[in-house]
Amino acid sequence: MPDDNLGAALLIRARNAITADFGAAAQPEPHHPALAQPGATFVTLTQAGQLRGCIGSLEAWRPLDADVRANASAAAFRDPRFNPLSREELAGTRVEVSLLTPAVPITFTDEVDAIRQLRPNIDGMIFECHGRRGTFLPQVWESLPEPHEFFAHLKQKAGFAANFWSPDVKLYRYEVRKWKEPEKH
């Protein structure tokens, strides 16, 4: 299936981007025609199921190959929530790549209407207002399954209070295709 081939190509490139910073040998990288096309990815790193880094692009502005490499390196070494990944942590770190669809604006009348339109486990969301922006990948629904709670945390990620609302709020939704490395035992 071409989707699986793309997933393998992205995961290997993401891991190679991280291991390159440690001078480790790269795994052979399978070719996929989509890698030359513009693409937007998020690379999420976990250790024992816990977040260890997550950085990405919301818009496709560079080739998919370059995007996944840059975001993998950023997730490992420049996520401000974590210290840079150490060589010792590398073996216990699991890589996940999410490929985003273009974000589309949501039309709503108020906050209640906006929340009503959320599609749990499908939508990634972007919240924008007053020059600030936050996003949650669809995977966040796994830990915040209730739409009101999901929305409140998204507002906080954007730098607002959980109960903040303004007529200037803009919302966008996107979906992802995602691939994860197998669990390490």
Q: For residue 21, what are its two tokens?
A: 């910073």
Q: Where are the beta strands (DSSP E) in the chain?
A: 41-47, 50-56, 94-100, 104-105, 124-129, 132-136, 170-174, 176-180
Mean pLDDT for 150-169 is: 97
80 & 63 share domain: yes
Neighbours of 44 (CB within 10 A): 24
The verdict on residue 8 lying in a domain is: yes
| CA distance readout (Å), 71 to 18, 44, 62 | 10, 9, 12
95 & 108 share domain: no
Does the pLDDT at position 20 exceed 60?
yes
Does the pLDDT at position 185 exceed 70?
no
Domain boundary among 49, 69, 100: 100
CATH code: domain of residue 133: 3.30.1490.150
Neighbours of 141 (CB within 10 A): 20
Domain boundary among 82, 100, 118: 100
CATH code: domain of residue 19: 3.30.700.20
The verdict on residue 184 lying in a domain is: no
Does the pLDDT at position 2 exceed 90?
no
93 & 118 share domain: no
Q: What whole-number distance in Å separates Cα of residue 93 and Cα of residue 109? A: 43
Q: For residue 44, what are its two tokens?
A: 């999420």
Instruction: Give the count of domains, the chain.
Output: 2
Tell me phi and psi for residue 184, to 5 degrees. -95, 135
Say whether 67 sits in a helix, a strand or coil.
helix
172 beta partners? 105, 126
pTM of the shown model:
0.93
pLDDT value at residue 25:
86
Write out pLDDT tens, residues 37-55: 999 999 999 999 999 999 9
Distance of CA 180 to the CA centre of its chain: 12
The verdict on residue 24 lying in a domain is: yes
Range of the domain at 43: 2-100
Instruction: Match 């929305």 to its residue by tokens.
Output: 151
78 & 117 share domain: no
Mean pLDDT for the chain? 95
Rounded percentage of the chain residues whose pLDDT exceeds 70 = 98
Say whether 57 sits in a helix, a strand or coil.
coil
The verdict on residue 185 lying in a domain is: no
Q: Do residues 90 and 20 make contact, with C-beta atoms less than 8 angstroms apart?
A: no
The verdict on residue 67 lying in a domain is: yes
11 & 72 share domain: yes
Write out pLDDT tens, residues 81-97: 999 999 999 999 999 99
Mean pLDDT for 149-156 is: 97
Got the DSSP string for 86-97? PHHHHTT-EEEE
The verdict on residue 183 lying in a domain is: no
Write out pLDDT tens, residues 120-144: 999 999 999 999 999 999 999 999 9
Does the pLDDT at position 74 exceed 60?
yes
Does the pLDDT at position 64 exceed 90?
yes
pLDDT value at residue 1:
39
